[in-house]
Structure 1
Amino acid sequence: MTALDVVKNYYESFNQKDWNGMLALVSPDIRHEPNQGDARIGLEKFTDFVHHMDESYDETLTDMVFLTEPSDQRVAVEFVVNGIYKKAEDGLPAANNQTYVVPAAAFLEVSGEKITRVTTYYNLPRWIKAVSE
């Protein structure tokens, strides 16, 4: 399976809310670099993050564009996040099931058919504006 196949399966599982399927594609020593805050290292911390996100947000990714490089180790993904803000986060606006649509991107590394790094970027002020209107 190529790095592209692994990443596509990962995001397909995400959109199906198949958290176990998604986590099965992640290395035990995953490095998760979020848009804000410190990196999370390890499957346990990443699993906690996934479950926390599921409690607070209901998201589906659309308009996905995958870009690869010749070594078959890295994949970049551009997408649109279509979401519902279900549960408030510290320091963020109150949650009242507001909907939002924001562009985002991620960069992933793959080794041995497992994702070893996920780095995600999006425009936080734009998201805050979307859930505050």
Structure 2
Amino acid sequence: MSANETRNLIETYYTAFNALDPEGMTALVSDDIEHRVNEGETRRGRAKFAEFGAHMGVSYREELKDIVIFVNEDGSRAAAEFTVHGEYLQTDPGLPEAKGQKYVLPAGSFFDVKGGRITRVTTFYNLSDWVRQVSA
């Protein structure tokens, strides 16, 4: 893929995220996607990726703003920096109780891309900052 095609792929991924469309996101990943979530287990495969997306839609309502996408020259890797504007809807095990708390959190993701699909996504944010915001 070219750098422009990869940029378009990542933009489409985040458009689906902001549209609360986990199926649209899942359609953009490879069958053997490696999904590395912040402070969590690595999930492998499209089914695990879809499961995570469905769970996120129940526990959180998030919109990503100020998205900046970076792509290497051959389009095989990309990164994005953004600000998460969210609401904590349903308590996740091991995390503070959800009461509709709102939060704003800087975050970023890294991608590998091959054959027109995302083959890896790794997301980072400051979990301590998130816990502080939802615990206040």
Does TM-score exceed 0.5, indicating one fold? yes
Task: Return the alpha-carbon distance in structure 2 between the equivalents of residues 26 and 39 of structure 1.
Answer: 15
What residue in structure 1 maps to residue 101 of structure 2? Answer: 98
Which of 84, 107, 111 aligns to 1:108? It is: 111
Q: 1:56 deviation in Å?
A: 0.2
Q: 1:38 deviation in Å?
A: 1.7
What residue in structure 2 maps to residue 68 of structure 1? Answer: 71
Identity, in percent, stands at 46
Q: 1:70 deviation in Å?
A: 1.0
Q: 1:60 deviation in Å?
A: 0.3
What does 1:1-133 align with in structure 2 at a 5 Å threshold? 2-133=5-136
Number of matched pairs: 133
TM-score normalised by L of structure 2: 0.95
SS in 1 for 2:96: coil
Segments of 5+ residues of structure 2 without an aligned counterpart are: none
Task: Return the alpha-carbon distance in structure 2 between the equivalents of residues 92 and 38 of structure 1.
Answer: 16
Segments of 5+ residues of structure 1 without an aligned counterpart are: none
Task: Return the alpha-carbon distance in structure 2 between the equivalents of residues 10 and 126 of structure 1.
Answer: 25
Q: 1:3 deviation in Å?
A: 1.1
Task: Return the alpha-carbon distance in structure 1 between the equivalents of residues 68 and 19 of structure 2.
Answer: 18
Q: CA RMSD in A?
A: 0.9
SS in 2 for 1:106: strand
SS in 2 for 1:89: coil
Task: Return the alpha-carbon distance in structure 2 between the equivalents of residues 106 and 72 of structure 1.
Answer: 15
Task: Return the alpha-carbon distance in structure 1 between the equivalents of residues 101 and 65 of structure 2.
Answer: 18
Task: Return the alpha-carbon distance in structure 1 between the equivalents of residues 26 and 49 of structure 2.
Answer: 9
Task: Return the alpha-carbon distance in structure 2 between the equivalents of residues 97 and 37 of structure 1.
Answer: 23
